Amino acid sequence: MTKQYISTHQDRFLAELFELLRIPSVSADSRHKDDVRKAAVFLVGKLKSAGAEKVELVETAGHPIVYGEKIVNPALPTVLVYGHYDVQPPDPLNLWTTPPFEPVIREGVIYARGSCDDKGQVYMHIKAFEILCAQGNLPCNIKFMIEGEEEVGSDHLGTFVKENKARLKADVILISDTAIISLDHPSITVGLRGLSYMEVEVTGPNRDLHSGVYGGAVANPINVLSRMIASLHDENGKVTIPGFYDDVIELSPSERAELNKAPFELSEYKKDLDIADVAGEKGYTTLERTGIRPTLDANGIWGGYTGEGAKTVLPSKAHAKISMRLVPNQSPARITALFTSHFQSLAPSTVKVKVTAHHGGEPAVTPTDSAAYQAASRAFEQVWGKVPIPTRDGGSIPIVALFKKELGLDSVLMGFGLDSDAIHSPNEHYGVRNFLLGIETIVAFYGHYVKAVR
Ligand code: BES
Ligand code: MN
Ligand code: MN
């Protein structure tokens, strides 16, 4: 029945998703403030027409939150669906084969910013809900909360959650904003990393100098900063900040063996990225390096002259943005403090260093023995013919830890993207198959969930 509905309506589903993808809802860019709102308004309309009630565009001090619900019977369990309609900036634009906000399908794959992260995945939920309503077959209560600030740290969602605990009362949170291993190997995410995000500024002389007149006699902030960043890892790929690993929970050998059973082809991984070798913390596999180990990366570095040709200059300042991905039991606040004092201490007396923190987020782990996880597992088994493997993803969804803390709710991370979908990169894409199978799997989830909690 569900399959039939999907195939009958799939062209419309995709046309609607394309309409959403055409809205450049870049939350980080204030020039797109109205577009972000337009995407929220679009979702309000689609939730209503799918059958939701009390649909509301909730104003915040930042971008709006979209809320809607369908309570069929207060005695039945309630699933709270969370997702985000904001997207990352699309640049560098010149690397897109087709423009980021003009979605197209090439060889069964949708190309557009947000196609996978997270508009495509949010839209699967709205269409699954439409199907259940159309069939008069909604087996439990559903609430939707879709935000527009995930990519910029969910600043105002936390407040909304704290102030609306009664409205958000539910039994579990369902999120599709992660990845499966592959179409042949479905998986359910059970761990997300946390995040500390820092910005540093190194100042040398009080103005840019002629690099011939002063070069070699005055500290060059770019040279100094490069050296400081390089010293943040040792020769074994370990982060050198004192105390960085203190709170990390080491997995037991059997837990590690289990994690490494997940299908993973190193040769394909390298081929996909066009690299001759992988890198990282010695003694850990690639799956462990992204799944269970904390890491540190420079995300951007700038300063001096970067224009056309050669300008001989010894710059006054150099800057970098540095992120740290954290694992369960590490605290972003503590890591931010450790980074700040360590980075200050690295500075030679020839420069001044300023360290500031951007938004961060707590790591999260979700249980596999819950009724909701079991339901998600059965839904995959039913639709994909395979029992999904629990995996730990390297990305972060900071609000998951907040849901646990404020609402006492676990999340089920039933995402359908692929690591190779190029989220946050040029040519982001999402398989039409992933989209359609995802809708079917979500519909199946509700049935299994209601059976499992009874
Ligand atoms: N959907 C991603 C997170 C993600 C991606 C989790 C792939 C698992 C697998 C989310 O939109 C995201 O990009 N989060 C940010 C954190 C945020 C605070 C900006 C991230 O991980 O960088
Ligand atoms: Mn996302
Ligand atoms: Mn993202």
Same domain, 158 and 17: yes
**Direct distance between the N- and C-terminal alpha carbons of the chain, in angstroms, rounded to an integer:** 24
Atom of ligand 1 nearest to the CA of 153: 18
Q: What is the pLDDT of residue 1?
A: 87
CB 454 within 8 A of CB 77: no
Strand partners of residue 354: 201
Q: Is 107 a catalytic residue?
A: no
- Do residues 94 and 236 both lie within one domain? no
- Between CA 31 and CA 112 the distance in angstroms is 19
The one catalytic residue in 69, 117, 150, 177 is 150
One domain, residues 93 and 226: no
| pTM, to two decimals | 0.95
Domain match, 445 and 389 both: yes
How far does the centroid of ligand 3 lie from the alpha carbon of residue 82, in Å? 14
Atom number of ligand 1 nearest to Cα 396: 21
Query: Which among 452, 442, 447 is positioned nearest to 144, based on CA atoms?
Result: 442
Are 315 and 222 in contact by the 8 Å Cβ rule? The answer is yes
Asked if residue 411 and residue 315 are part of one domain, the reply reads no
Task: Work out how many domains the chain is built from and give that number.
Answer: 2
With respect to residue 258, please indicate whether it lies within any of the assigned structural domains: no
Q: Of the residues 361, 386, 419, which one is the last residue of a structural domain?
A: 361
CATH number of the domain encompassing residue 352: 3.30.70.360
Ligand 2 center–CA 155 separation, angstroms: 15
Same domain, 310 and 395: no
Name the DSSP class of 403: I
Question: Catalytic residue among 86, 149, 362, 440, which?
Answer: 86
CA torsion, points 161, 164, 169, 172, in degrees to nearest 10?
Answer: -10
Mark the ranges of the chain whose per-residue pLDDT is less than 70: none
Q: What is the CATH number of the domain that holds 411?
A: 3.40.630.10
Among 342, 361, 380, the domain-final residue is 361
Q: What's the 3-state SS for 45-99?
A: HHHHHHCCEEEEEECCCCCCEEEEEECCCCCCCEEEEEEECCECCCCCHHHCCCC
79: which strand partners? 142, 172
- Which ligand 1 atom is nearest residue 361's CA? 18
Tally of residues, the chain: 454
Q: Is the domain of 57 the same as that of 141?
A: yes
Note the pLDDT of residue 396. Answer: 96
> What residues make up the domain containing 439?
2-192+363-453
Per-residue confidence (pLDDT) for residue 94, from 0 to 100: 98
> Which pLDDT does position 29 carry in this prediction?
97
> Is residue 163 a part of any domain in this protein?
yes
- Our answer to whether residue 86 is catalytic in this structure is yes
108 and 231 in one domain? Answer: no
* Domain membership flag for residue 179: yes
Q: What was the pLDDT predicted at 239?
A: 98
Residue 288 located in a structural domain: no
| 108 assigned to some structural domain | yes
Domain end (from 318, 340, 361): 361
Asked whether residue 270 is assigned to any structural domain, the reply reads no
Residues 98 and 50 in one domain: yes
348 in a domain, yes or no? yes
Examine residue 249 and state whether it is found in any structural domain, yes or no.
Answer: no
Q: Across the strands, what pairs with 202?
A: 318, 353
- Residue to substitute in 63, 84, 85, 151 for testing ligand 1 pocket (most ligand atoms within 8 angstroms of CB): 151
Same domain, 372 and 334: no
Q: Which helix (H) or strand (E) is 417 found in, with range?
A: strand 417-418
If you measure from the C-alpha of residue 214 to the centroid of ligand 3, how many angstroms do you get, rounded to a whole number? 44
Predicted pLDDT of residue 184: 96
Task: Report pLDDT for 368.
Answer: 95
- In a shared domain, residues 299 and 382: no
For residue 178, which ligand has an atom nearest its CA? Answer: 1
Contacts 24+ apart (CB under 8 A), 181-184: 181/262, 181/263, 181/264, 181/389, 181/391, 182/263, 182/418, 183/418, 183/431, 183/433, 183/434, 184/263, 184/386
Pocket of ligand 1 contains residue 361 by CB under 6 Å: yes
Q: Which amino acid is at 136?
A: G
Same domain, 235 and 322: yes
pLDDT of residue 79: 98
Structure confidence at residue 63 (pLDDT): 98
